[in-house]
Amino acid sequence: MKRAFAIARAEMLILRRNLWLFMATLIMLSFSLALSFAGSAPTGTLGVDMLTVSVASMTTLSVYLAPLLALMMGFDAVAGDRDRGSLALLLAYPAGRAEILLGKLMAQLAALAVAMVIGFGAAGAVAAWFGGAGPESLIALVRLVATSILLGAVFLVLGYALSALSSGAAAAAGLSAGVWLVFVVLYDLGLLGAVVMDSGGVFTQKVFPWVMVANPADAFRLWNVAASESVALSSGMAGAASALPGWAAPLSLLLWPALGFLLACAAFRRVEP
Amino acid sequence: MDNANSPLQIRALDKFRGRTQVLHGIDLDIAPGERLALLGHNGAGKSTLIKAVLGLIRHEGGSIRICGAKPGTGAARAATAFLPEAASFHPALTGHEQLGLFARLAGERADIIRLLERVGLGEAMHRRIGAYSKGMRQRLGLAQVLLGRPKLALLDEPTSGLDPISRQDLYAIINELAGQGAAVLIASHALTEVEARTDRIAILRKGVKVADDTLAGLSAQAGLPVKLRVQAQGAEADRIALETGGRRINGASVEILCRPQDKMAELRKIAAMGDAVVDIDMVPPRLEDLYRHYSGEDRK
């Protein structure tokens, strides 16, 4: 564990020095603020405070942005060191491969968390200041930040796995883009197509919600939506959320980082530098 | 056969890459404080052997023990220091930070500043590695070898990219390591360098160990001729060449090749020629000749 912290410390220095921390925070901040202002229109019609609306739109934003930022940080983890030729020396030291990945995960997840807290926090504060906030909408904001960090963790470890599996950093970047597209865009499109074809049959009733919650990006959306009625109302996802037990989405979003980490470690163990 | 005190003990090591066998039944031992030069062409298996010892790649047959431990185990990694060929590091870190990371990974409380000064990076230690020259990165690599007190140091082409003065420093550091009791393995192409600076020489050819002895031992086994170069007085060169069976190489010199055991007889013969001989040079076989002999270029 001491070794994992040593790796994390060096990785944090790298993230700060190559401006990744700054850029991630800037991206989160600017998108959240923009969405908060743009999404302030329907407040009156739904009868909820502005922070609730803001959280609903930021949930949608985070589904796209958190996986993207995480994959962009993660894809280099193994492949970058291997391309540079510094991996063999690192592995000659008495740190296990799981410890190395854990160290990188701690640093990169911390960087993501900083970006999320500052970005969503600032946007939430602005929304609350201008349009009011209640205890429920504050909890929704905290939940959004926490689940966004979890979602980031999922795609960080998936990025590590791709990084270890691919032949080089460029290939890892390409694979990461593909994974992002599949989980965030194509998966939902495919499900949508299936639901339309099925036209309200058994698939839509019984299978569809489970298939949906198996995708961490959708689990993230469902968790935020199901937990807060007013967010569900303003994001129009009440239907799918009500068909599942309350533990399904949290379970999926908590299982994914653990399974992804095991997968990344297994892939990393096969790497011969 | 398992001697826990031996820094490195390799027995019958086989390694396949796909279907090609890249290492064939390698046996190799290094004693504490011994400096071994591992020579061979590109692709002879030097780096593969080092990676197998580090536990970075699996081997299919035979065994490797580092101070009695299997390669890749915590004990083996803690006992081993490694300098990769063309050492490279993350360009965003400074030399000081990088060495600090290695020290923490190794669990060593090392005097990082002193180490960096020792390898001549005192001025540059707070600059980013991205701005380092190749030689500076190599020195940083060397500094991390000195972290802790390795029982076994594996140096892969340690002099590549170093200027002549740095090479002197490098061998001073290698001697220091060996003096502390570390077994040092130096994989190299630079034959003339390792010749005088190692205790023993092993030569790999296409994954087979074809030689493993001291320089003198290798010379004796190879039976390579000693070269005598005789400078003749005036026009006597032809006569000397005729009498000794040598070969004239220019107007006044004759080159004689003789077996090591015939050397003294030949010298006596030449000495008996009196004033006809002005000077004589004796050239024993160099490592380069031995290397060519063992690595197969001379074998028909």
Say whether A2 and B54 touch across the interface (CB within 8 A). no
CA–CA distance, A64 with A66 (Å, rounded to integer): 6
| Amino acid identity for residue B28 in this structure | L
Report the alpha-carbon distance of residue A7 to residue B223 in Å, rounded. Answer: 54
**Percentage, residues of chain B above pLDDT 90:** 37
- B86 with A7: Cβ contact below 8 A: no
B41, B18 contact by CB (below 8 A): no
What DSSP character marks residue A86? -
B267 touches chain A (CB under 8 A): no
> Does pLDDT of B264 surpass 80?
yes
| Res. A228 pLDDT band, cuts 50 70 90 | low
- Span A207-215, average pLDDT: 86
Q: What residues of chain B lie within 8 A of the CB of A6, using their CB?
A: 101, 104-105
Q: Which one is predicted more confidently, B165 or B117?
A: B117
A186-206 as b/e: b if 16+ CB within 10 A: ebbeebeeebeeeeeeeebee
pLDDT tens across A25-47, in order? 999 999 888 887 776 555 555 55
Q: How far is B126 from chain A (nearest CA, A)?
A: 13
In this prediction, residue A231 carries a pLDDT of 59
- Mean per-residue pLDDT of chain A: 87
B223 to chain A, minimum CA–CA distance in Å?
40
Does residue A153 register a pLDDT over 50?
A: yes
**Residue B186 — φ and ψ, nearest 5°?**
-115, 110
Under an 8 A CB cutoff, do A94 and B78 touch? yes
User: CB–CB of A18 and B107 under 8 A?
Assistant: no
Residue range A160-177: mean pLDDT, rounded: 93
Q: Closest Cα of chain B to A106: distance in Å?
A: 16
Mean pLDDT, all residues of chain B:
87
pLDDT at A238 over 70: no
Token pair in block for residue A117: 């807290």
Residues in chain A closer than 8 A to B141 (CB atoms)? 89
Assess whether pLDDT exceeds 70 at residue B94.
yes
Which residues in B lie closer than 8 A to residue A89 (C-beta atoms)? 82, 84, 87, 141, 144
Residue contacts between A and B (CB atoms, under 8 Å): 75
Chosen for mutation from B105, B126, B160, B185 (greatest number of chain A CBs closer than 10 Å) is B105
- Residues B117-142, mean pLDDT to the nearest whole number: 91
Task: Report CB contact under 8 Å: A89, B56.
Answer: no
DSSP B222-274: HTPPEEEEEEESGGGHHHHHHHHT-EEEETTEEEEEE-GGGHHHHHHHHHTTG
The pTM of the full predicted model, rounded to 2 decimals, is: 0.86
Q: Which B residues in the span 179-218 are in contact with A, Cβ-Cβ below 8 Å?
A: none
Dump pLDDT digits (tens) for B1-27: 456 678 999 999 999 988 899 999 999
- How many structural domains does chain A have? 1
How much is the pLDDT for A233? 55
Nearest to A14 among B82, B90, B104 (CB): B90
Question: In this complex, is the C-beta atom of B46 within 8 Å of any C-beta atom belonging to chain A?
Answer: no
Tell me, what's the pLDDT at B297?
Answer: 59
The total of other beta-carbon atoms located within 10 Å of residue B244's CB is: 18
State the DSSP code for B211.
Answer: E
* Res. A10: pLDDT tops 50: yes
Question: What tokens appear for B98 in the block?
Answer: 């990088």
Chain A residues with CB inside 8 Å of B74's CB? Answer: 94
Given this model, what pLDDT does residue B64 score? Answer: 93
Between CA A27 and CA A148 the distance in angstroms is 14
Helix (H) or strand (E) holding A195: helix A187-198
Q: Would you call B86 an interface residue with chain A, using a CB distance cutoff of 8 Å?
A: yes
Residues of B in contact with A91 (CB under 8 A): 54, 56
Per-residue confidence at B300, pLDDT binned at 50, 70, 90?
Answer: very low
Edge-to-edge strands, sheet with B61-65: B20-30, B8-17, B61-65
- B72, closest residue in chain A (CA to CA): A92
Higher-pLDDT residue of B213 and B243 is: B213
List the structure tokens of A3.
């070794």
Closest-CA residue in chain B for A1?
B105
Highest mean pLDDT among A195-204, A258-267, B66-75, B167-176: A258-267
B272 touches chain A (CB under 8 A): no
- Cα Dmax for chain A: 63
* Closest CA relative to residue A74, chosen from A220, A267, A273: A267
- Residue ranges and CATH numbers for the domains of chain B are 8-220 (3.40.50.300), 225-284 (3.30.70)
The token pair at B167 is: 């090479």
State the average pLDDT over residues B117-144: 91
Model pLDDT, residue A240: 62
Least confident of A28-42, B39-53, B183-197: A28-42
CA A105 from centroid of its chain's CA atoms:
13
Instruction: Give CA torsion, residues A194, A198, A200, A205, to 10 deg.
Output: -60
Mutate which of A5, A7, A91, A93 to disrupt the B interface (most B C-beta within 10 Å)? A93
Residue span of the structural domain in which A225 resides: 2-269
Contacts of A84 in chain B (CB under 8 A): 88-90
Q: How far is CA A71 from CA A66, A165, A263, in A?
A: 9, 14, 15
CA distance A117 to A87: 33
Q: How confident is the model at residue A87 (pLDDT cuts 50, 70, 90)?
A: very high
CB contacts, 8 Å: A3 with chain B? 104-105, 107
**Cβ distance of B105 and A84 shorter than 8 Å:** no
Chain B partners of A100 at a C-beta cutoff of 8 Å? none
Is B77 in Cβ contact with A92 (below 8 Å)?
yes
What pLDDT sits at residue A234? 53
Find the closest chain A residue to B95 by CA distance: A10
List residues of A whose CB lies inside 8 A of any B CB.
2-3, 5-7, 9-10, 13-14, 17-18, 81, 84-86, 88-95, 272-273
| Neighbour order of strands in the sheet with B226-232 | B247-250, B253-258, B226-232, B277-283
Average pLDDT over residues A129-148: 87
Shortest distance between the Cα of A165 and any Cα of chain B, in A, equals: 16
